[in-house]
Amino acid sequence: METTHTLDPIYPISALQKKQREVKEAASKGIVRITEQGVGAYIFSSEEQFEKAIKRAQEQAVYEARLADSITAGRADMETGRLHTDHEAFFDRARAKLS
């Protein structure tokens, strides 16, 4: 799962009037944060970037759910004694399952 992240550009709300082209260009490349009186207030983006952000969030949620399920299953296996302390025995069993 790709987890690269850059800091989102931040503009004051006045930039929507004074630097409209710059803000729109930044929004075509990613999420833009808009502040009011120095405090985060709004998010601005192109439709395409918004769709990409939603898709990334969905993929991340699925990944985290699968990871949590795997951890839960692993803990259950350990509690019931389904574990290997010998690497060779583990790989032998894995090979047998693939055959």
Host domain of residue 33: 10-80
CB 47 within 8 A of CB 28: no
Residue 5 lies inside a defined structural domain of this protein: no
76: domain CATH number is 3.40.1620
Instruction: Classify 2 as helix, strand or coil.
Output: coil
Residue 18 lies inside a defined structural domain of this protein: yes
Tell me the whole-structure pTM to 2 decimals: 0.64
Residue 54 lies inside a defined structural domain of this protein: yes
Residue 1 lies inside a defined structural domain of this protein: no
Position 35, amino acid: T
pLDDT (tens digit per residue) in 41-92? 999 999 999 999 999 999 999 999 999 999 999 999 989 988 878 889 889 8
Residue 63 lies inside a defined structural domain of this protein: yes
Residue 88 lies inside a defined structural domain of this protein: no
